[in-house]
Amino acid sequence: MDPFVFPGLTTRVIFGSGTLAQVGAEVERLGHSRVLVLSTEGQQADAEALSARLGALSAGVFAQAAMHTPVEVTQTALAAFKASSATAVVSLGGGSTTGLGKAIAIRTGADQVVIPTTYAGSEMTDILGETAGGQKTTRRDPGIRPEVVIYDVDLTLTLPPALTVTSALNAIAHAVEAFYATDRNPVITAMCREALPAFRDGLPMIARDPRDTEARSQVLYGAWLCSTALGYVSMALHHKLAHVLGGSFNTPHADTHAILLPHTAGFNGAAVPGLLAPVTEAFGTSPGAGLWDFASAVGAPLRLADLGLTEADLDRAADIAVQNPYANPRPFDRSAIRALLQDAWEGRRPA
């Protein structure tokens, strides 16, 4: 067996149905008596209901979380946080809301209780991406990682079908890159191996019935496993390209991951087929073709062209993607990246 380092897991995780009822107890367990509840505008009603349920523990709701954590929103939220005399945040929502909670936590030392309602996987990580002046920067810091994560499957029943599919592929991308991470370890690899069938079997059931609690549980469980992978080992080419497209061309986060994944998995799978064997076992054929067939079967978007990108954008994206070197199992140059982006733009099935 190869030597490895397992960093340990620090976040307390509660998983189930109806677990939203435990938020108050978890806040008190962390030693807080006043929390600010965070959400997007779209999930404000759920956040208000949670705030009401928390009673005196709640200092109110801030419902302006936005994708890619714009610093202007963070400044407004910080003012609300300070004015409320809260000492912790409760983030109810997807990666955008979790991002806002992290941005407040790293600036104030506030504890975070996160209640994820998508499969994006920010909740288990020490990563924060923020946007200022059109530039997205990412940093890692132990102070960013949430203290408690409460998964309540009931909250995912309303996740729209399209976002269900793309968000799940976003999660699968964390597992795929964890299999070949330079700092991989057997615990995270085992978690990722467990995650793939959860998505493969759960997503088609959700497509038939979005309120199928058992299938939703399975997929949310997979999302937790993948979020843990994202939080504890390093990502490579796939996440780099998604970051370039999202950060510089403002493409939607989950769609971008979903479309790129078969192409990045196909590209790296050619170099490390053994490390990506769990992907082939779960989805068949080869990592790239298997994931493309699965994405196609569950109705995922397949073409970067459909996100409004032009071929000139691909040129610029390829330039940006090779500006700084980073670890990847298959060496690449600009022309390889450009060709990969072209395939993803056209929606071609990888070999």
Does residue 128 belong to the site contacting ligand NAD (CB under 6 A)?
A: yes
Provide the mask over 159-178, with x wherever binding to ligand NAD is found by CB under 6 A and - wherever it is not. Answer: x---x---x-----------
Cβ of residue 65: shortest distance to ligand NAD, in angstroms?
Answer: 7
Nearer to ligand NAD, 118 or 280 (CB): 118
Per DSSP, 117 falls in state: -
Cβ of residue 11: shortest distance to ligand NAD, in angstroms?
Answer: 12
Nearer to ligand NAD, 24 or 94 (CB): 94
Per DSSP, 348 falls in state: P
Distance between CA atoms of 268 and 329, rounded to whole angstroms?
6
Q: Which structure tokens are listed for 134? A: 């059109």
Binding span for ligand NAD by CB under 6 A among 15-23, 157-165, 175-183, 316-324: 157-165
DSSP of 44-83: HHHHHHHHHHHGGGEEEEE----TT-BHHHHHHHHHHHHH
The single residue among 129, 146, 269, 287 that binds ligand NAD, judged by CB under 6 A, is 129
The single residue among 51, 58, 74, 117 that binds ligand NAD, judged by CB under 6 A, is 117
Query: Are the C-beta atoms of 77 and 112 separated by less than 8 Å?
Result: no
Distance between CA atoms of 125 and 176, rounded to whole angstroms?
17
The single residue among 100, 110, 127, 181 that binds ligand NAD, judged by CB under 6 A, is 127
Gyration radius from the chain CA atoms: 19
The single residue among 254, 260, 282, 304 that binds ligand NAD, judged by CB under 6 A, is 254
The single residue among 24, 70, 93, 269 that binds ligand NAD, judged by CB under 6 A, is 93
The single residue among 67, 207, 271, 336 that binds ligand NAD, judged by CB under 6 A, is 67
Give the C-alpha distances (Å, rounded to integers) separating 133 from 47, 66, 68: 29, 15, 12
Give the C-alpha distances (Å, rounded to integers) separating 145 from 155, 207, 325: 22, 32, 26
Binding span for ligand NAD by CB under 6 A among 103-111, 122-130, 286-294, 304-312: 122-130
In the three-class reduction of DSSP (H, G, I as helix; E, B as strand; rest coil), residue 36 is classed as: strand
The single residue among 74, 125, 189, 217 that binds ligand NAD, judged by CB under 6 A, is 125
List Cβ neighbours of 104 (8 Å cut-off, separation of 6 or more). 36, 38, 74, 77, 78, 81, 89, 110
Considering only CA atoms, which of 306, 167, 316 is closest in space to residue 245? 316
Nearer to ligand NAD, 93 or 290 (CB): 93
Does residue 43 belong to the site contacting ligand NAD (CB under 6 A)?
A: yes
Residue found under tokens 């991002």: 99
Query: Are the C-beta atoms of 238 and 261 separated by less than 8 Å?
Result: yes
Site residue total, ligand NAD (CB under 6 A) = 29
Nearer to ligand NAD, 100 or 279 (CB): 100
Does residue 40 belong to the site contacting ligand NAD (CB under 6 A)?
A: yes
The single residue among 101, 121, 262, 329 that binds ligand NAD, judged by CB under 6 A, is 121
Q: Are strands 12-16 and 148-152 parallel, antiparallel or unpaired?
A: parallel
Does residue 228 belong to the site contacting ligand NAD (CB under 6 A)?
A: no
Binding span for ligand NAD by CB under 6 A among 16-24, 153-161, 323-331, 336-344: 153-161
**Phi, psi at residue 97, to the nearest 5°?**
-70, -40
Binding span for ligand NAD by CB under 6 A among 53-61, 77-85, 127-135, 338-346: 127-135
The site for ligand NAD (CB under 6 A) is made up of 40, 42-43, 67-68, 93-97, 99, 117-118, 120-122, 125, 127-129, 155-156, 158-159, 163, 167, 230, 253-254
